[in-house]
Structure 1
Amino acid sequence: MDHTTAPQPFAAPVLYTPDGTPYYATAPAAAPLALYQPPAPLPVPAQHPGAALSYLPAQYAPAPAPVPVRDPWPARLLAGGIGIGGAGLGVGFLLQTLAAATTGLGLLVAALGVLYLLKNGSGGGRGGQGAVNVSVNVTNRNR
């Protein structure tokens, strides 16, 4: 077992700004750090409202107002018709599948019914009983 101590990680020195806010530096600073101060807004002359916007940078210029557009009702009608048509097509496929499944089940039940009747039913005039022994005794009482 190695009893030597591993090198300790470098602890960053804590530096403070003039107002007392701490910050951590990983390397000595080449110059004293300064807090970021956003630039002051440009003064706007009060002579003409439209002229003030002409010399402002793009970041300070107000966004243009959206232009009102016509309601695209033909496009909405077309999209609705395509949607309804697609839904109708889907319902048609569903009903067609359901009809095919019920037809298949109906044919299977009919075939099984015919097989049952051929085996157990009254097919061929036999009555379904097989061979029957018949004995008839006739007596004439009028003699």
Structure 2
Amino acid sequence: MDHVSYPQPAPVLYTAEGQPLYATAPLTAPPALYQAPPQPAPVYTHPAVPQQPTVVIPAPAPTAPGRDPWPARLAAGGIGLGAAGLGIGYALNAIAAAGSSLGGLAAIGAGAYCLAKTRSTGGGGGGGQGAVNVHVNITNRNG
């Protein structure tokens, strides 16, 4: 067992509003709550609107009349047309692949349906009625 004597906790006093006041020594006067000194009322002023800077767009410099770069325009047009044709080719290839895969899936489905239908009917397409008697009479009228 511990025989060390511990100091007694300080008494807790409460204000009229119910707020606890922790004191380490007995109070000589009734406690008073701290009140900050009055602050002057703030004065709100709107900041000055900054002047919009004027943007001066320089006039384009005069250029000497030069040659028309028609080869560059033709090359750019040809590259653009080639890229467009390549893109269209890829798109058509994708559409064809999708169509053939859908056709293959449809053929597999039709084959599975036919296989299941023939197995469920019991064979040769009689609608499940069993064997069919067939009589064939052949007469020769030429002789």
Q: When the two structures are superposed, what TM-score results if normalisation uses the length of structure 1?
A: 0.48
Q: When the two structures are superposed, what TM-score results if normalisation uses the length of structure 2?
A: 0.48
